[in-house]
Amino acid sequence: MAITSKTDICNLASDLLSGSTIADIDNPTTADEALYARWYDHSRQKSLREHPWNFAAKRAVLAASSTVPLFGYEAQFPFPADYMRLLTVETQDGIQYSSEAYQIEAGSLLLSTNLGISASARIRYVHDIEDVTKFDPLFIDYLALTIAVSLAFKVTESNVTVERVASLEKRASSMSKAINGQERPPTKIHKSKNRAARLNNGSSALSHRIVF
C-alpha cells in the first residue's frame, strides 16, 4: 500500500513498536492517536532541518526589509514562511556567496551592501514540505523511525525496544542521507575573479560562479 498521508507514516512508526492502528491524527479519538498527533509535525520538521534533502529543496527571491540591522550589515531579507534550512545564497548574475558573507538571525538573512546587494536576494532552501506524496521513500522510512524512537519508551516501556528502534533509525539516517547526496554530484565551480573582487571588496568572503 502506498504511503500517502501523515497517518500512514504514524502507522509505520506504530508497527515498529507493535502498537495499535492509528486511524486519524488530524482528528484523534484515542490516546495513541493524540500521542502521534503531538509528535508528528515536530519530528517532520526536525528531520527536514537535519539534512539538505533534494526532494524538499526550493528556490525563492527574497525582498529586502525596510528595517535594517543595527550594526554589521546594511540589509536584511526575511525568509519565506515555509523556510527550514538555508542551502545557498546567490546574486542576480549567479555568484554564490560563501558562508562568511552572510548571517542568519531572527528569521532573516543579513547581507552587507558592500557585497553588491540589490533590493532582492536569491536563495535555495529546504522548505517545510507537508505533502507526504512528495516525500522521498527513504525519508518516509527515516521519519517513521524518528517518530518511533521518540515514542518507544512511552508506548512500550521497554529499553530493549528503544535500543532496537534507535539502531534502525541510525542506519536509516546514514543510508537516506548518503543516497540523497549521491543524487547531486559535486558542483563544478569556476572562479570569477572580476566579480569576486567587486563583491568581496577586499573582504575574505569568496564568491564563485556555480554551474548546475
Tens of pLDDT, residue by residue over 149-204, are 999 999 999 999 999 999 999 999 999 999 999 887 554 333 334 444 544 554 44
What is the number of other CB atoms lying within 10 angstroms of the CB of residue 178? 10
* pTM exceeding the 0.75 threshold for the entire prediction: yes
Q: What is the 3-state secondary structure (H, E, C) of 61-80?
A: EEECCCCCCCCCCCEEEECC
Residue 54 phi, psi (nearest 5): -65, -40
Domains of the chain by residue range: 6-51+130-182, 57-128+188-211
What pLDDT sits at residue 118? 64
Q: Which grid coordinates are listed for 87?
A: 542551502
pLDDT(60) > 90:
yes
In angstroms, the Cα distances linking 45 to 17, 49, 77, 95, 167 are 22, 6, 22, 29, 21
Per-residue pLDDT at 119: 75
Q: Is the distance from CB of 122 to CB of 92 less than 8 angstroms? A: yes
Residue 118 cell numbers, joined: 540589490
Residues 83-101, mean pLDDT to the nearest whole number: 84
Confidence of residue 111 (pLDDT cuts 50, 70, 90): confident
Does residue 83 contact residue 125 with C-beta atoms inside 8 Å? yes
